[in-house]
Amino acid sequence: MENKLYVGNLPYKMSEEELKQTFSQAGTVISARIINDANTGRSKGFGFVEMENQQMAEKAIEVLNGLDLEGRALRVATARPMKPREAGERSPRY
């Protein structure tokens, strides 16, 4: 889990490919996913990037946290595990 990163404050028009290219500055990207609203399909402005190892993840945080993209300062941090959902709660579609 230490190599999975939360990325917040993304430009709403950014694609997953652009996200992957941005993070490749810090090393090998295993996956890049932008979270979209289930109803509108629009980006929610955050996503997750999985780097090849913990060292690359740490470098990505160091290099990319605060980076200005289209007037928005990226927030990059180690992703936290998802909380267990209560019975009856709507589960995410991602």
> Per-domain residue ranges for the chain?
4-77
Closest CA to 79 of 30, 38, 55, 46: 46
Residue 94 has pLDDT above 90, yes or no: no
pTM of the model: 0.85
**Residue 10 C-beta-side C-alpha neighbours within 13 Å:** 27
Q: How confident is the model at residue 81 (pLDDT cuts 50, 70, 90)?
A: confident
CB atoms within 10 A of CB 13: 9
Write out pLDDT tens, residues 45-78: 999 999 999 999 999 999 999 999 999 999 999 9
Are 8 and 50 contacting, i.e. CB atoms less than 8 angstroms apart?
Answer: no
When pLDDT is cut at 50, 70 and 90, the band that residue 7 belongs to is very high
- pLDDT greater than 60 at residue 93: no
The structural architecture, per CATH, of the domain 4-77 is 2-Layer Sandwich (3.30)
> Which pLDDT score is estimated for 35?
97
Pairing of strands 29-36, 43-51: antiparallel
